[in-house]
Structure 1
Amino acid sequence: MLVRPKQAAVLRYGWALVASAGAFFISLAMFPLLELNPFLVFLAAVAVAAWYGGLVPGLLATLLCSLLINYFFIIPFYSLSVASLVAAVELVIFVAVAVLISSLNASLLEARQRAEAAKAEVEAALQQAEAAQERLATVALENERLFREASDAMHARDELISFVSHDLKNPLTSIRMLARGVGGRLAATGDPELERLVEPIATVESAATKMAHLIEELEDTVHVHGGEPLRLDRRPVDLVALARQLAAEHQLLTRRHRIRVESELPVLFGRWDAARLDRVLGNLLGNAIKYSPDGGDILVSVARAANGAGDQAILSVRDHGLGVPADDLAQVFDRFHRGANVVNWISGTGVGLVSVKRIVESHGGTVAVQSEEGAGSVFTVRLPLAEEDPRDLPQL
C-alpha cells in the first residue's frame, strides 16, 4: 500500500492554492460555453487539496473556492454580496459539503496511517520471528508475542473503524436531513428557478447516503471477521414500497435511464432488516445505472412465489447494459472481483455484490445473476416469507 509522504507545509498549502486556481480557470473557461454549474468543479478542487494536503489545506481551499464562486460566478458578478435566496442556499450547501469532504479525507488519511503503522509493526515482528527460527524455544515465545500483537492490531483496527463510523454517522445524517428538507421546501415553492436546485440537492443526499452505507458495510465487515453473524433488526417491511422509494431516489440521479417498478401486488410484507434491504436494492440499482453507460430502461420487479420450502418474496433488477462476461459469472459475488469488460474502464471496488450476498444470505435467502455480455443483466433476490402474526403487520 502506498504511503503518502510527509510534505512540507508550503507544499501542503500549495495544493489548496493550485487546486483552487485550477478549478477557477476550468470553470471560467467552460462557464460561458456550457453554462456549467461551477460547484462540482470547485468541490473536486477541495477534495484534491484535502487528500494531498490534509484537513487545514482542505478548509483553506473551501474558503478560497467559496470566495471565487461568490465573486465570479454568482450574480451580482464581481461582488461578494449575494442577491438571491437561491444563490445563498447554493453557497451554504457548497460550503457544508466541502467541509464534510475535507473532514472525511482527513479521517480516512488518519485511519490509513494508523492501519499502515499497525501493519508495519506486524511485518517487523514477523521478520524477527523468521530470524529466530533455529531456536525452537525462542520461536514459540516469539509466535506467542506475534499472536498478541496481531490480535492487538486487529482490535485497534476494529476500534478505529468503530470510532470513525461513530464520528461520521452523525454529520452524514445531518447532511442527509438538511438536503432532504431543503429539497422538499424548494420543490414545494413552485418557482422554476428554485426547482432547478432540487436535483443537485438530491445528488448531495444520495452521496451522503452512499457514504453512510459504506460505513455500515465496514461495520458489518468487522463483525463478520470477528466471527459474529450480522445482527438483523427484523421488522415488518413492505418490499413493494421500498422498491418504489429507492427507484424514485435513483431516478433523480440519472437522466439517461428510465427506472420502472412492476408488481402485481399492492404490498408485500415480510420481517426483514429494512436498512440492509435498502442497501441490497441500492447496490443493485447503482450497479444497473453504472454499468449501463448508454442509458436505457431499468426494471425492478417484486413478486411472490411458492415452492417446496414455502412462500418467497422475489425481487429482481434488470438492465440492458454491458452485462457480465461468461467467464466472470461464477466469481461475480467474490470479494474484489470485477468483470474483465469493465475493470479498466468503469471505476468500482468489487465489494458491493459481496455485501448484497452476505445480507441476503443472513436473511435466509439467495441471490443469483443471469447475464449476457453486451445485452444486460438480471439480478434476482429470493427472501423467505415466514408466517406472520397479523398483529405484527401494519394496518392498511
Structure 2
Amino acid sequence: MTPAAGREDAAADRGNGPEDGPRGGPVRGGRLRALWRPAGLRMRLVVVFALVALLAAVSVSGIAYWLNRDAVLTRAQNAALKDFRKSLGDHSGRLPENPSCAQLRATAAAMARSTQNYQVVLVDDSPSGERCAEASDPSVFRLEMVPASLTEAVHQRRDEGPDDDAAPYHLYWQRVVRGDDPYLIGGAQVIEEGPTGYMLASLAPERDDLNSLAWSLGIATMLALVGSVLLAQAAAATVLRPVQRLSNAARALGQGELETRLPVRGSDELAELTRTFNGTAEALEQRVADLSAREAASRRFVADMSHELRTPMTAITAMTEVLEDEVDNLDPMIAPAVQLVVSETRRLNNLVENLMEVTRFDAGTARMVRDDVDIADQVTACIDARAWLDAVELDAERGIVARLDPRRLDVILANLIGNALKHGGSPVRVRIRESGGTHEAGDQVVIEVADRGPGIPQDVLPHVFDRFYKASASRPRSEGSGLGLSIALENAHLHGGDITARNDPEGGAVFTLRLPRGTRHPEDGPAAAENEERGEP
C-alpha cells in the first residue's frame, strides 16, 4: 500500500455560524477625528502604544495558534492513519476470500483495540450482491456516518504510476464535526474486490489542547496589552514632564515673569528645545527692558515737557486774552493775525492740558473724586456750559443716579458730543438709559451719542480711540489734538466702564458709553483727592 493521500473538506471543518451579522454603517473619518482631537498627548501615546502592542500580540498569537494547530492535528491524524493502514493491511491478509459478516465483525473489533483509540467499520460485497458492513461499535460509528465524497474517493481506482510500489487504491481521510466534537474519518480499500475499511478517531483531546493554547495566548495578549499601557504611561511621563515644564514656563513668561528659565538636562531634542526657550526668554527680557526704558524715557519727556510748557503757556494765554480784548482797536491789517495767535494759543494750551492728563493715566496717578451724579443733569450742564443746547437733542429720564466722578464724566461727554458736532454735524442725539449688566452694582448706565453725518470709514473705525490718530493723513493739522477720544476712553476705564464706536445702518456714527452705577466707597469724598484741572476737547 502506498503512502496515505488525504484531502480535507473545508466545509466539514468550518463552523456553522450565522451567515449575515448585524449591519452597521461605516464610522466616518470626521467622527473619529472629532473624538481624537480633544484627547491629550498622554492619552494619544497610551492609545498608540496599546494599539501597536495589541496588533503585534494578536498577530504573533494568531500565527503561533495556527502553526500549533496544524502541527497538533497533523501529528494526531498521521499517527491514527498510519496505525489504521498498518492494521488494515495486517488483518485483511488473514481474512478468507469471501469473509462472512461475523468474520468482518471480529476483525473490526480486533482492529479497534489499537492504542490510537479509533473505531472501525469493514465493508465487503459478496458474489451474490449482498453487502456486509460490520462495525467495532455500532453505537459510535456506522457506515452511514461516512461522507459520500470519502466513499466515492476510496472506491475510485487510479492508474498505476511508473513506480513499482504504486497502488490503484489509496487511503483518504476527512475531518468532520459531529455535534460539538471534531472527528477524523479515514478509509481505504486493501485490494481490488477486497473489503473496504473505515476508521473514526476522535480529535477531542487535540481540540482541548488547542483551546488551552488559545486561552494561554489570549492571556499572554492581555498581559502584553497591560504591559504596553504601563510602558506608554512611563514613556509619556518621560516625554511629557519636560513638555509640561516648558508649558508652565511659557505661561509664566506670558504673565510677565521674564526672568523664567529652565535647567537643561541631556543633549536630546527636548534639551535643545529647552535651550531655545531659554535663549528666547533672555532675548525677550532684554527687548522688553529696552522698550520699557524707552517708554519710561518718553513718558518722562512728555511729562517734563508738559510741565515746562505750562508756565510760559499761562503767561502767553494771559497776553493773548489782553490782545483779544483790544482787537477792535487794532489796525484792521493786524486783527486777523491777532485772532490767529489767540486761536492757536488756545489750541496749544488744550494740547498741553491733554498731554498732562495722558501722563497721569500712564503713570497711574489719575485719581477719582466720586459723588452721586444725576446723569441727565450732568449731560444738560455739559451741553449748557458749551452753548450746545440748540445743536443737541437729549433723550433721558430724570432720576438716573450713578456713583461717578463728575469732572471726568464731563470730560467724557464733552469729547463725545464735541466730536459728533465736529465730524457729524447737528443735530446730535444723546440718549440715556439703564441696562442690566455683570457689574457688582447689578446694572449699568448707557449713554449713546449719535450724529447725522456720513459715519466712520471701516478702516478708521478700529483706530478712533488711538492717541494722535487722524483719519486723513493729508490733513495732519486740525483743531483737535487727536487725544480727546483717547482721554475719554481712559476716563471710562477708570470708572470700570467702556466706550465703543459703530456706524448706524441708517447713517451716522454712534458712540456708546457704558458706566457701572457703582456704590459708595469709604475712601470716596471730595477732600480725599487732588483737585485736577479739567481737560476739554
Range into which the TM-score falls when normalised by the shorter chain: 0.3 to 0.5
Output the TM-score relative to the length of structure 1: 0.44
Q: Which has the larger radius of gyration?
A: 2
Output the TM-score relative to the length of structure 2: 0.34
